[in-house]
Structure 1
């Protein structure tokens, strides 16, 4: 019966992932991953960007594995595939995170459930996005479990990170966090002190972390991948992306992350002794997440582990007796639920049922796409015209490559790094009407313009038609898009 009763993490995973699995396709980035996967399956890897006429920095499909998984899910389950993939990855992260939190605690209870919930809410901005960082979250959680196993005495656990990191580097750019977590955990354990045998174990774990770092080179990027995460993070164009900006505490999820961080600080101040083996990596990743909010889901898990491991070491509470009595009752209910309900398969059983239904009744991408989000009519019109160069908005590029095809070369898309900084600078000129936009237009000489009619940058279509030389082919108010074609000279 214990295995049949859903545990608290399974209930959270169910409530979270079923809506994800049933939601429409909505993320712009998904479509450049799908377009890239179709290209790779047909042509193999290439350093030359096949989708744009400006990507002179070369195409580095370092997250190609996610694209392949998304494309295969689309072929098997129809348009529900990418959402089912996302939901399955989120459910897997929930269950792995809960296992890590339970392992860290000497007596799992209400506090452990609370920090799990805070961890998940800190990840909330990723839930409904069909993007590869869900794979990064799952692989990071696996790395956490490996480091916990090593701390408990399993000498083989660190070496399992080597093949895991080789896989990770082909799925998501967060692979560097794997060696960093193991290495900093080993350094922290060394700081905690121990005998000569303990120091030797720490040095061996550091060696495993170094080997895992080198294993990332087993990817199409080769040794260039070692510097890629750092070089990408310092690009000026990267700093304009929301997820790479400092944490915005006006966002609700960021406030919950801050609450989790403050709870960890409180526990750290009162717990004795404190373990540097978990404190050191937690501190480093928390600081990194404040500088780039995309790191917050990873840091939240380490903060939760620190609280789970240390809160039992706090001195007895000085809170009023009535409050302590209420807390004790809630703690007893929580501990009883955790102990007597170990069913963890329910989220995956439900998702398997949804997958079977989707496979039997597959929907097309057009049937499942978020209404009005993508200018499908403009893509269709463009596809009926001769292939050429398209001046497009940043977020539309991947979808344009997917729906119209790689023959219609985009000016830019949200892969970001194939495009040198001058391309981003010229794009800003088009968006904001900055001096030099006419010269830039003449330099690139696009055949088509696919642009928004509202919001920043909406002045470009009207400016082009006023100056002549352009014909408006289609305008779709519902999709907020206009398609222009250069007139024959």
Structure 2
């Protein structure tokens, strides 16, 4: 008799191990090619990149953001807590060493790591072919999180945490590795809380599926608690635990990515289709029923909650999706082997001869196509040298308002300038944030807000309402312009 609470082994006739099929090779090429082509969609860096580079520079110089006035934006009336400090410092160091090419190369490697982690999580419960196909769909659903931001590193760590939970659940073990991963994650990005939630989902599902029982279940239940404690043990202390809640409560008011996705959002549709496939697999097989159903439910909540969590939904769903594809594809052992107790059939979690060649093929396609994109694409700044030079010669006391597409770059390229507002939504009270949004959108009374703030220069996006409104005001004149932006000034 076992007394550790782990699921007892069940007996089953041995199943011959199969080599990868042609479908597996095609799935490998698809996974690598889909990911690489998605990387090629963007030819300019994420607008947040420059903000993170500037923050990293300040952190390296000893700035700790513990008091007002804020060193980066003039209207900030709340202190900034750098919950992404390790990632921002690393980004600054990489940029110093190799510029935006180095940043893009790091992004490519992180996307590769994300694909590998998703594939690893999927292989806990599915064969190679289904896992590779699930990885391709997951990468498509998570594509919006591939920007040059700490968020990408957070999604990679989420995939690793999900993989750790599913592998531990399959074997009835305790996923202790999640605790140090959470500590690292809490220094990189505030999304570590999603990892706690994903772990609880697998924990509850595993308990209902009787993957863990008795004393082992108690030990597994301690992992989320210890993970929160690990986050609080980072240099930020309890602020690392509390700050993500403050950010989410404020950012949703003004930031589009923190708001609910529209029904036509293509990445949301990808995740919804993946949820359907995962549930169809549950119909075909009772194995791991509760864990899979709860994973689908968690993915639906995340995908429908806000735009920025569609990517996390795709990653949380990946193992259940792979399981469902395995069932629908016929890889599940048939009636006699579909053991409701959870016996592991077929190649799930077991190495398949030649499988590593499929992994290498997918990685090779991604690195070849993605590497060519990095090497041949000029990832330059959003603003031309002409406009940048005009910003540099503004009077020292100029009060500068900058469009969101360029404000991070201004903070980084012109560190002596403090734009009125930047992209850190959490450092502004609601009245300040809403007033500035009215100004940026040139809503009724915008000129009165400009007078209240004493704005004397505006770097405006030529396609936004504010630029058109400034063109209709005789007091404002264009100091410099390029195809995307105009710098407006007034006495």
Q: Does 1:137 align with 2:155?
A: yes
Match of 2:404 in 1: 394
- Structure 2 residue corresponding to 1:91, chosen from 81, 93, 112: 112
- Alpha-carbon distance in 1 for matches of 2:100, 2:195: 32
Task: State how far apart, in whole Å, the 1-side matches of 2:288 and 2:42 are.
Answer: 43
Q: Deviations over 1:392-443 (max 9, x none)?
A: 22332211101111x2111111121112112222113313443443443233
Instruction: State the distance in 2 between where 1:357 and 1:314 align.
Output: 36
Map of 1:70-81 to 2, 5 A cutoff? 70-81=91-102
Give the match for residue 101 of structure 1.
122
Question: Residues 39-438 of structure 1 correspond to what in structure 2 (within 5 A)?
Answer: 39-48=58-67, 49-105=70-126, 107-109=127-129, 111-127=130-146, 129-153=147-171, 155-156=173-174, 158-193=175-210, 198-235=213-250, 237-310=251-324, 339-343=353-357, 344=359, 368-369=379-380, 373-388=382-397, 389-405=399-415, 407-438=416-447
| Aligned equivalents of 2:307, 2:484: Cα separation in 1 | 30
Further displaced range: 33-42 or 418-427? 418-427
Distance in 2 between the 1:102 and 1:316 partners?
16
State the Cα distance separating 1:184 from its structure 2 match.
2.6
Contact 1:91–1:347 (8 Å) recurs in 2: no
Q: Alpha carbon RMSD of aligned pairs, Å?
A: 3.6
Is the contact made by 1:453 and 1:482 (CA closer than 8 Å) also made in structure 2?
no
Q: How far did 1:30 drift?
A: 0.5
Deviations 1:303-328 (A, max 9, x none): 331133356667989xxxxxxxxxxx
Structure 1 residue 356: deviation in Å? 11
8 Å contact kept, 1:21–1:83: no
Residue of structure 2 in register with 1:13 after alignment: 32
Q: Which residue of 1 aligns with 2:54?
A: 35
What CA distance in whole angstroms lies between the structure 2 residues aligned with 1:455 and 1:355? 32
Deviation of 1:20 (Å): 3.8
Note the alpha carbon deviations across 1:100-121, whole angstroms, 9 max, x for none.
Answer: 212212x443x43332221111
Q: Hey, what does 1:323 align to over in structure 2? A: none
Greater mean deviation of Cα atoms: 450-459 or 79-88: 450-459
Q: Is the 8 A contact 2:32 2:365 kept in 1?
A: no
Instruction: Call closer, same or farther: CA 1:81–1:17 in 2, change over 3 Å.
Output: farther
Decide whether the 8 Å contact of 2:180 with 2:227 is kept in 1: yes
Measure, in 1, the Cα distance between the counterparts of 2:56 and 2:230. 23
CA displacement, residues 342-375 of structure 1 (integer Å, 9 cap, x when unaligned)? 134577779999999999x9x9x9x6316xx435
Cα distance between partner residues in 2 of 1:460 and 1:220: 46
2:122–2:318 contact (8 Å) kept in structure 1: yes
Answer yes or no: is the 8 Å Cα contact 1:9–1:94 preserved in 2.
no
Relative distance call for 1:285 and 1:21 in structure 2 (3 A) is closer
8 Å Cα contact 2:108-2:370 kept in structure 1: no
CA 1:199 to 1:243, structure 2 compared with 1: closer, same or farther past 3 Å?
Answer: farther
**Secondary structure of the corresponding residue to residue 137 of structure 1:** helix
Q: What is the distance in 2 between the residues matched to 1:87 and 1:382?
A: 33
Query: Is the CA contact (8 Å cut-off) linking 2:128 and 2:355 kept in structure 1?
Result: no
Quote the Cα distance in structure 2 between the aligned partners of 1:91 and 1:76. 22
TM-score by length of 1: 0.80
> Unpaired runs of 5+ in structure 2?
1-18, 332-350
Task: State how far apart, in whole Å, the 1-side matches of 2:330 and 2:218 are.
Answer: 37
Change (3 A) 1:311 1:433: closer
1:429/1:381 CA distance change after superposition, 3 Å: same
CA 1:41/1:346 → structure 2, altered by over 3 Å: closer, same or farther?
farther
Residues 281 and 253 of structure 1: CA distance in aligned 2, closer, same or farther (over 3 Å): closer
Per-residue deviation, 1:299: 2.1
The answer for the alignment partner of 2:340 in structure 1 is none
User: In 2, Cα distance between the equivalents of 1:293 and 1:339?
Assistant: 40
- Could you tell me which residue of structure 1 aligns to residue 338 of structure 2? none
In the aligned structure 1, how far is the partner of 2:150 from the partner of 2:45? 14
Contact kept in structure 1, 2:150 and 2:189, CA below 8 Å: yes
- In the other structure, the counterpart of 1:334 is none
The answer to whether residue 476 in structure 2 is matched with residue 475 in structure 1 is no
SS of aligned partner of 1:234: helix
Aligned partner (choices 465, 468, 471) of residue 456 of structure 1: 465
Mark the CA change 1:458 to 1:448 in structure 2 (over 3 Å): closer, same or farther.
closer
Q: How many residues align?
A: 447
Does the CA-based 8 Å contact 1:21-1:86 persist in structure 2?
Answer: no
Q: 1:315, 1:94 → 2: CA distance?
A: 21
**Which runs of no fewer than 5 residues in structure 1 stay unpaired?**
318-336
